[in-house]
Amino acid sequence: MTDAPGIRARAFAQTWLGRLSGWLLAWVGAIVLVQILVALAPGDAIDTLPDPGLRAQLTAEWGLGGPLATRVIAGTWHALIGAWGSSWTVRPGDSVGGLVATAMGASAPMLVAAWAVAVGLGAAVRGRGWGEKVVVGLSTLPVVLLALGAIEGINAAVWAGMSAGWWGRPAFFALPMEGGVVRDALALVALGVGSAGVAAVAARLAEADARIDASGFVLAARARGMTVSALRSLKWRHRVVPLIEGAQAAFPPIVGGLVVVERLCALPGAGDLLWRAVEARDIPVATGVVVALTGTTVVVGAALDLLRRAWDPRLRAEA
């Protein structure tokens, strides 16, 4: 505690850089895992390519003849340096990097917004009695059920109203093909609510609230007769770390749910691209998307980890 500021700053930087490099290592590890999976595929997926010339060219390009370790290392290296090759079947010849970047760009707003919905809802409904029960209950429904229910339900209702002459054809009708902003909002809510992210956040907050409520400083404040709203302003600071942890826990399921929602709601994006790549057995594209999604998870995880540490002096001291 008596360290000179310089030493302290250095220690600080060291820990933070250490955390960051840990996350980076995790990402590399994840890429290696992906590469192992791909390399283990029985009968190379490339065999399904109709063009023998292209097959030979790609086999050489990807070193597919070599032993497992070579392929994994080569694959990981390519993934790391961004040499993701070109698409085989989804958009034959297109650069995977470009395809994935476009798709990730399309998905990013949805991902972030849905995540915000999950975290925000989880935080907003926490401790609101029936509101919490209903929203958390809804959030335990699978994304597919929520999205489907919303799409079919809204379509049926709008169609019924149109048939009865109550209203004309709204611009968003025929979800998910037309949809526009309504579809986006629906996908957003389905993804945010349905990935159990709300439940994860609310559960963490509930746990934290119980802990906070039982902690001495809150009791002391209550004993002094602090009002509920004043207490809230006292407690919010302590809900930040659990909220960050909840947000961290909520993110990967949302990434997974992205695939489902983009398919169901006919939205272009990384999930949709992955799906199509898998359908068309386009290994480079599928691998590229998974690596990119993994990267996103890692970046988000790392950012939140550092944020958490920045927020709580005790964690800072621990590091």
Partner 1 sequence: MSGRGRRASRGPLVALLVVATIAALPYNPAVNADIVGLGPSIAHPLGTDAVGRDVGLRLLAAVRPLVIGGGTALAIALLLGVPLGALAGARGGIWSRWIRGFGLAVSSLPAIPLVLLLGLVVGHGAVPLGLAWGVAMAPGVLQALYQRVDALRREERLLALVAHGIPEWRAVAVHLVWNNARTELRTWSARVLAGFLAMETALSYLGRAGVAEPQPSWGNMLAMALSAGSSQNAAAWIAPAVAVAVVSAGLWGLALGVPRLAPGEDIVAAPGALDVRALEIRSADRVVARLPELGAPPGTVTALLGVSGVGKSLVLRAIARILPDGLRATGRLTRPALAWIAQDGRSSLDPLLRIREQAPDPGAALARSGFPADRLDAWPHELSGGEAQRAALLCVLSGPSVGLLLADEPTTGLDPRARRALVRTLLTVARAPSGPAVVFVTHDRRLLPGFADAIVEMDGARPAPPALAPRVRPSPGPVLLHAEGLSVVAGLTRRPAYPAAPPILTGLSVDVRGGETVGLIGESGVGKTTLLRAFAGLCASSGTLDVLGVDPRSARPKGVQLLWQDPGTSLDPALTVREILSISAAIGQGHRTVDEALRRVGLLTQADAVPDELSGGERRRVSLAQVWLAGAVLVLADEPSAALDAQRSLEALDLLRDLVGETGGVVIASHDLVLVLPTCDRVYVLHEGRCVDVFSPSEADDPGRHPYTRDLLAAG
Partner 2 sequence: MARSPRHLPLPWLLALAPLGALVLGTAAAAQLRYAEDQAPAIVNPLFTTSMAETRVGELVFQSLYADDHTLASVPQLAESGELSTDRMHMTVRLRDSVNWQDGSPFTAKDVVFTVHAMKDPATASTEAGRAQFISDCREVGDHAVQFDFVRPELRPEDKLTFKILPAAAFAGLPVKRTDAFHLAPIGTGPWSLVKYNDDNSVSFSANPGYKGPDGKDDVGIAQITMKEVADKNYQAKLLLYESIDALVRVLPRDLAMLQSNRKVELYPYQTNSWWYAGFNLARAPFTDPRVRQALAEMLDVPNMLAPVGTGDLITGPYVPSSPFYNHDTPPWPHDPAAAGALLTAAGYQKDADGWYKAGRKLAITVSAHRALESAQEVTINLQSQLQAQGIDVTIDFLDEPAWRQQVWTDRNYDVVLSQWTFDRNEDIREQFYSTGSRNLMGLKDPDVDKLLDAARDANDPIARKTALRAAHQKIHDDLPMVFLWTLDSYAALSTKVRGVTVHPFAFFTWAPEWQMQ
Partner 3 sequence: MTVLLVSLLLACRPAAPPPPEPLDVSWIANVVREPAHFSSTLEQNGGREAWQAFHRGDWLNVRSPVAADAQGAVPSVAEHRAWAELSVFEGVLDRAQGDALLTLAEGWAKHSPDQPVPKWLLASAQRVAELRSDAPTAEKWRAQANAAGIVFDEANPKPFAYDQPPTLTIDAIRTCVGAAVDNGQLGSFWDATGPAALQQRYKANASNVMGVGLPEDLFGPIAEAVMAARPSTDDVEACHTLVSGMDTRLDAWSAKLAQGATTDGAALLHDLQLVQVGRSRTLAGLAVDALGRHHDACALYYAEQALDHADARAISPVNSPTVFAVIAAANVESGHVREALDALAPLRGAFPEAAGVIETIGDLAVQQGLDRTGLSREN
Binding residues for partner 2 (CB under 8 A):
47-51, 53-54, 89, 91-94, 102-103, 106, 113, 116-117, 119-121, 124-125, 155, 159, 169, 171-174, 177-178, 180-182, 184-185, 188-189, 192, 266-269, 272, 276, 279-281
Using CB under 8 A, which of 63, 170, 252, 295 touches partner 3? Answer: 170
The interface partner of residue 161, options being partner 3, partner 1, partner 2, none and the CB cut-off 5 to 8 Å by kind, is partner 3
Q: What is the largest CA-CA distance in the chain?
A: 81
Secondary structure class of 280 (helix, strand, coil)? coil
Secondary structure class of 95 (helix, strand, coil)? strand
Q: Which stretch binds partner 1 (CB under 8 A): 5-13, 115-123, 145-153, 174-182?
A: 145-153
The size of the interface with partner 3 (CB under 8 A), counted in residues, is: 12
Structure tokens at 113: 């917004």
Name the region of 63 (left: φ>0; alpha: ψ -120 to 50; beta: rest): left
Q: Is 64 in the site for partner 1 (CB under 8 A)?
A: no
- What's the one-letter identity of residue 125? V
Q: How far is the CB of 208 from partner 2 (least distance, A)?
A: 18
Structure tokens at 63: 């070193």
Taking the least distance from each CB to partner 3, the nearer of 169 and 211 is 169
Cβ atoms 107, 262 nearer than 8 A: yes
Q: What are phi and psi of 86, to 5 degrees?
A: -125, 155
Under 8 Å CB-to-CB from 84, ≥6 apart: which residues? 78, 95, 96, 97, 100, 284, 287, 288, 291
Name the region of 196 (left: φ>0; alpha: ψ -120 to 50; beta: rest): left
Taking the least distance from each CB to partner 3, the nearer of 130 and 166 is 166
Q: Is 222 in the site for partner 1 (CB under 8 A)?
A: yes
Residues numbered 171-190 forming contacts with partner 3, rule: CB under 8 A: 171, 182, 189
Under 8 Å CB-to-CB from 109, ≥6 apart: which residues? none
Taking the least distance from each CB to partner 1, the nearer of 37 and 181 is 37
Q: Do you find a cis peptide bond into 176, omega within 30 degrees of 0?
A: yes
The size of the interface with partner 1 (CB under 8 A), counted in residues, is: 77
Integer Cα distance of 218 and 208 in angstroms? 13
Q: How far is the CB of 81 from partner 1 (least distance, A)?
A: 19
Q: How far is the CB of 317 from partner 2 (least distance, A)?
A: 32
Q: Which stretch binds partner 3 (CB under 8 A): 120-128, 135-143, 166-174, 268-276?
A: 166-174
Q: Is 161 in the site for partner 3 (CB under 8 A)?
A: yes
Taking the least distance from each CB to partner 3, the nearer of 84 and 173 is 173
Q: Is 303 in the site for partner 1 (CB under 8 A)?
A: no
The interface partner of residue 82, options being partner 2, partner 1, partner 3, none and the CB cut-off 5 to 8 Å by kind, is none
The interface partner of residue 120, options being partner 1, partner 3, partner 2, none and the CB cut-off 5 to 8 Å by kind, is partner 2
Integer Cα distance of 195 and 142 in angstroms? 7
Within 41-142, where are the H helices? 52-62, 68-80, 96-125, 130-139
Integer Cα distance of 275 and 301 in angstroms? 24
Q: How far is the CB of 48 from partner 3 (least distance, A)?
A: 17
Q: Is 50 in the site for partner 3 (CB under 8 A)?
A: no
Binding site for partner 3 (CB under 8 A): 154, 158, 161, 165-171, 182, 189
